[in-house]
A and B are shown apart, each in its own frame.
Chain A
Amino acid sequence: DAKTTQPTSMDCAEGRAANLPCNHSTISGNEYVYWYRQIHSQGPQYIIHGLKNNETNEMASLIITEDRKSSTLILPHATLRDTAVYYCIAPPGNTPLVFGKGTRLSVIA
């Protein structure tokens, strides 16, 4: 199970891009990187995942470095509703998700 390291907390101004980093230097070749977020008092919510290529969906973009040892989740125009804890997870094979401490993102008006 690739260990992931994320900053404990980050601030972002409303309307600006929020860039959330994640280090996963021990990731193996077939391990995907998943991002979930948890808004206060709610269950976690899937955001995006990727293996090698950069990915984009309606919620966010995921940039994975060429060596796959780190990635960045980008929320292009953060809103107050994006304030949440963001989890970066890299579980091997068919093993279930294991949530760490995540990054607490505060979007400030």
Chain B
Amino acid sequence: DAGVIQSPRHEVTEMGQEVTLRCKPISGHNSLFWYRQTMMRGLELLIYFNNNVPIDDSGMPEDRFSAKMPNASFSTLKIQPSEPRDSAVYFCASSNLAGGKETQYFGPGTRLLVL
């Protein structure tokens, strides 16, 4: 089992550019979570999906952020336009239970730096 796969692992971009982060959950998992981690704010839940449907996006910071899950094996988190304050590590996690808290498996994260 390859675990949760995220790409890219590192991204450096300039302010104003569009950034797309990608996540492939563990096969068979039906819940997917996007988190953001910074030193100041810690680990924050941005949005989560159950059976490809967004359940709670109250953590999405603003309209510049959007997330999609077109099928059970792929999700994207897009930032357009990006700003320096978006610099963070973005984690994707998946679970095989709806909201399954003990079965969340995290990916290695994408380290985003917006200059």
The B-contacting residues of A in range 67-109, CB under 8 angstroms, are: 89, 91, 94-101
9 contacts between A and B (CB under 8 A): A32-B101, A32-B102, A34-B101, A43-B108, A94-B99, A96-B45, A99-B43, A99-B44, A99-B45
CA A44 to CA B44, docked complex, whole Å:
12
Tell me how many residue pairs across A and B have CB atoms closer than 8 Å.
Answer: 50
Known: A32-B101, A89-B101. A96 touches B56 (CB 8 A): yes
Asked if B103 and A99 sit within 8 Å, CB to CB, the answer is no
What residues make up the interface of A, taking CB atoms closer than 8 Å to B? 32, 34, 38, 41-46, 49, 89, 91, 94-101
Asked if B91 and A96 sit within 8 Å, CB to CB, the answer is no
Report chain A residues within 8 Å CB of B44. Answer: 99
Asked if A43 and B101 sit within 8 Å, CB to CB, the answer is no
Interface size on B, residues (CB 8 A): 22
DSSP class of B's interface residues: helix, strand, loop or mixed?
strand
Q: Which residue in A32, A41, A49, A101 is a CB contact (below 8 Å) of B42?
A: A101
DSSP class of A's interface residues: helix, strand, loop or mixed?
loop
What residues make up the interface of B, taking CB atoms closer than 8 Å to A? 4, 33, 35, 42-45, 48, 56, 91, 93, 98-99, 101-109
Q: Which residue in A45, A89, A91, A98 is a CB contact (below 8 Å) of B106?
A: A45
Known: A43-B91, A43-B109. A97 touches B104 (CB 8 A): yes
